């Protein structure tokens, strides 16, 4: 584990567990952590939008940008997180990749349980496609990017868009949750890792899913899509000390076996959620930079 991450995890283990409090308290704690641990962000032009269904989004336009677009979906277990919480990492990626980013404020559980967040991300995709020409974007250079629960929503959306005329050029899934019921060694090995514990995973899942909802529904757990051959080219990142590591690797294997061009970035010294640790961790910043570089290359092919 990267030394600075080890120090952070020791401190986190001694602190409060957000799943012991209310949803509001957990959201406040997450927002505070994002402010403290995320990097200073570059200044760039932004524009606010309200999508037809009422979902809000922010378009980030770096000074140097291509004719591509990233649709970004934040993490937080479908319950926590916001555009504001992810402002810094979105700006970092937009600036380094040289690409505009549309950051989506999808509705959160438990106020809006599954499938509402899925529907919001699909609506945001349609909005981006419809606005592409106005924004100077090539609709065939759209990328879906998400971390954790946001990566789940990106994977689900990509699978739902398989028959659409405009599909993602690339899906970037950072330490995704893709299987709600599978038994994976990393889930057991890192069940007490304070970056994301088994207890927290269960608490978040209970907020997201309605009573009786099957976790093998492919729109909950994309691992259970029967045929993944229509998925877009995929970049998956995994953290070495993440309980979700092994299911992400299993999903990458399934994509590859289906003939989907798939790349895995293994960040062995990091933990779940490292996109928000770039202020305190050079290793996390380097990992995020690698993602941005891969996006930049994909846009310019």
Instruction: Answer for the pair 117, 78: CB distance below 8 angstroms, yes or no.
Output: yes
Concerning whether 148 is annotated as a catalytic residue, the answer is yes
Both tokens of 280, joined, read 């305190």
Is the C-alpha dihedral spanning 181, 183, 187, 188 positive or negative? positive
Q: How are beta strands 100-105 and 56-61 bridged, if at all?
A: antiparallel
Which of 19, 82, 103, 148 is catalytic? The answer is 148
CA 248 to chain centroid: 12
The strand pairing partners of 101, in sequence order, are 60, 70
Q: Element (H or E) spanning 290, and its range?
A: helix 282-300
Concerning whether 272 is annotated as a catalytic residue, the answer is yes
Which of 87, 119, 242, 246 is catalytic? The answer is 242
Is the C-alpha dihedral spanning 27, 82, 76, 88 positive or negative? negative
Which of 103, 221, 272, 276 is catalytic? The answer is 272
- Catalytic residue numbers read 148, 242, 272
């Amino acid at each position: 584990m990267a030394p600075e991450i080890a120090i952070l995890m020791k401190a986190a283990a001694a602190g409060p567990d957000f799943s012991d409090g209310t949803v509001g308290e957990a959201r406040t704690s997450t927002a505070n952590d994002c402010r403290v641990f995320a990097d200073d962000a570059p200044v760039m032009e932004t524009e606010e939008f309200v999508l037809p269904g009422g979902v809000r989004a922010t378009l980030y336009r770096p000074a140097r940008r291509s004719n591509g677009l990233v649709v970004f979906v934040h993490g937080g277990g479908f319950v926590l997180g916001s555009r504001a919480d992810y402002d810094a990492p979105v700006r970092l990626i937009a600036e380094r990749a040289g690409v505009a980013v549309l950051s989506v404020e999808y509705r959160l559980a438990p106020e809006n349980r599954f499938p509402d967040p899925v529907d919001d991300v699909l609506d945001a995709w349609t909005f981006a496609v419809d606005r592409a020409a106005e924004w100077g974007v090539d609709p065939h250079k759209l990328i879906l990017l998400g971390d954790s629960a946001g990566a789940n929503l990106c994977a689900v959306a990509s699978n739902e868009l398989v028959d659409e005329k405009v599909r993602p050029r690339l899906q970037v899934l950072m330490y995704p949750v893709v299987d709600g019921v599978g038994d994976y060694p990393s889930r057991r090995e890192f069940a007490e890792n304070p970056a994301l514990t088994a207890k927290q995973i269960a608490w978040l899942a209970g907020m997201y899913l309605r009573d009786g909802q099957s976790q093998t529904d492919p729109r909950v757990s994309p691992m259970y899509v029967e045929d993944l051959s229509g998925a877009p080219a995929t970049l998956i990142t995994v953290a070495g000390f993440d309980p979700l590591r092994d299911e992400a690797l299993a999903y990458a294997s399934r994509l590859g076996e289906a003939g989907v061009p798939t790349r895995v970035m293994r960040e062995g010294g990091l933990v779940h959620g490292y996109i928000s640790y770039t202020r305190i961790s050079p290793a996390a910043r380097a990992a995020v930079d690698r993602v941005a570089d891969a996006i930049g290359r994909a846009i310019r092919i």
